[in-house]
Structure 1
Amino acid sequence: MMICLPEECFHVVANILFEGTKLRAYTKGVENNLRKVELDSIQDYIKESDNLVSLHDQIRECDRILSQMETLLSGFQLHISLSLCNDHFPFNGALYYSMSCTTNGILLRSRVS
């Protein structure tokens, strides 16, 4: 049995009519082929189900690890930001620095003591 693209269907139907093949028999053949392909696909899915479960578990584990890494790196980013803040704006006796160090930047307010 041959499966055709829409533009090829005209030629397939013309060939069927020319050869005298009955349309019902052809349709039945196509339906049987589709049914066989469907059953084969289901069997393939069943055979691979253990692998799919394993893959799903691996993806969840990777997601968990990446979430932990994100938390760790966010903490590291904050630590670096605070460290840079303290290195670049040390306390000066003449000025009192009131600063807020965040991961988004440094807010510095000064006033004379």
Structure 2
Amino acid sequence: MAWVGAALWASQVHAATQMVTLSCAVAYMPERSTWVREVQIDWDRKTIRAVRIDGLAPYSYSVNPQGLSTAIDNERIQLDLNQAQWSSDFRGLASGRGRCDVVAPS
């Protein structure tokens, strides 16, 4: 999670809870289509407090040393925050992989 921490530190926001926004270009197979997914993470420098994907808050998420895992509808999503990568699958029927970039606050 050093990658997210570095992104938040670079933003110089000093609020109790900070938000980082990621833009992830995800290639879905077997359709060979690319979708840009937006991930927002609320963070208080110790703990991830909330996650939103494309504006939707998942029912739950779990944090692990590499990042976090969650699900939206039938898509199981893993975010590797150290490598800035997205991977997901639709119960074995399709899968997605992509790279994430930090979106500069406007």
TM-score range, shorter chain: under 0.3
Bigger share in strand: 2
Q: TM-score, normalised by structure 2?
A: 0.20
Bigger share in helix: 1
Q: TM-score, normalised by structure 1?
A: 0.19
Q: Greater relative contact order (Cα 8 A, min sep 6): structure 1 or 2?
A: 2
